[in-house]
């Protein structure tokens, strides 16, 4: 089996990256993690990747300067490393830099992200507190292709969790994160197995989810 080569971009603790690395350790998983790149020096995920034997490197976004010029230079360094690692698919996993339309277009159909809400609801940052303020009863996470507009690309998979009355942003985030760790590896598996096609701006899935991770019913409150 020729495995798809995945590059994971992080900025922080890297728990989603860790779940992708763990899934890719299975012999029958159709993808391997070719490289992890952090735009933040000292990001927690770097040590986790290195410990797992995955090549991990830093491209410090701040070192390229501010403005469009700095962004362009940072992104060409990113692309150079991803190409050098012969990456087929780029997974954003807590990557906190907005990517330019040029970068997104260059990697179109090969660039995915995980977001801790049921998109298209609750885009952007601080979504857990926002969901609690809105009083939603069901929350969740979404894996989607990245488009130039933030958190708006074609949806590949989603998983739902209940919101409890005593939830804080932290307890809700932890419940959603548990689902993220199952959903992301499952979506990458389906992409690598060729089960995801883009048709008219919508991701169409064939085959069956291996673990029921996709479109899961809301679990009964614990
Ligand atoms: C996750 O909640 C992810 O959905 C969001 O950023 C967070 C990253 O967490 N995009 P981690 O670094 O993967 O632990």
Domain range list for the chain: 1-107, 114-222
128 is annotated as an active-site residue: no
By CB atoms closer than 10 A (0-12, 13-18, 19+), residue 206 is exposed
How many other C-beta atoms are found inside a 10 Å radius of the C-beta of residue 48?
19
**Among protein residues, the one whose CA lies closest to atom 1 of ligand 1:** 94
| Fold of the domain built from segment(s) 1-107 | Rossmann fold (3.40.50)
Q: Report CA(197)–ligand 1 centroid distance (Å).
A: 25
CA 186/CA 180 separation, integer angstroms? 10
Ligand 1, residues at Cβ distance < 6 Å: 10, 12-17, 93-94, 114-116, 141, 177, 180
Residue 219 has a pLDDT of 38
Pick the CATH number of 114-222 from 3.90.79.10, 3.40.50.880, 1.10.3720.10, 3.40.50.170: 3.40.50.170
Note the pLDDT tens digit of each residue in 62-87: 999 999 999 999 999 999 999 999 99
% residues pLDDT > 70 (the chain)? 94
pLDDT for the residue 208: 75
């Amino acid at each position: 089996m020729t495995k798809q080569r995945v590059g994971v971009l992080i900025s922080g603790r890297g728990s989603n990256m860790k779940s992708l690395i763990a899934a890719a350790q299975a012999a029958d998983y159709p993808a391997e993690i070719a490289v992890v790149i952090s735009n933040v020096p000292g990001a927690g995920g770097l040590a986790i990747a290195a410990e797992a034997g995955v090549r991990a490197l830093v491209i410090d976004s701040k070192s390229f300067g501010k403005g469009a010029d700095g962004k362009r230079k940072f992104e060409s360094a990113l692309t150079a490393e991803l190409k050098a690692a012969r990456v087929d698919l780029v997974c954003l996993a807590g990557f906190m830099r907005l990517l330019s339309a040029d970068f997104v277009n260059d990697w179109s159909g090969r660039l995915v992200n995980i977001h801790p809400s049921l998109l298209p609801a609750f885009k952007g940052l601080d979504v857990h507190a926002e969901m609690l303020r809105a009083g939603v009863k069901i929350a969740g996470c979404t894996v989607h292709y990245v488009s130039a507009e933030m958190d708006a690309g074609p949806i590949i998979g989603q998983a739902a969790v209940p919101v409890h009355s005593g939830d804080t942003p932290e307890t809700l985030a932890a419940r959603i994160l548990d689902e993220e760790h199952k959903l992301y590896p499952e979506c990458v598996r389906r992409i690598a197995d060729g089960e995801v096609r883009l048709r008219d701006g919508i991701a169409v899935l064939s085959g069956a989810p291996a673990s029921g991770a996709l479109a899961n019913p809301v679990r009964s409150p614990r």
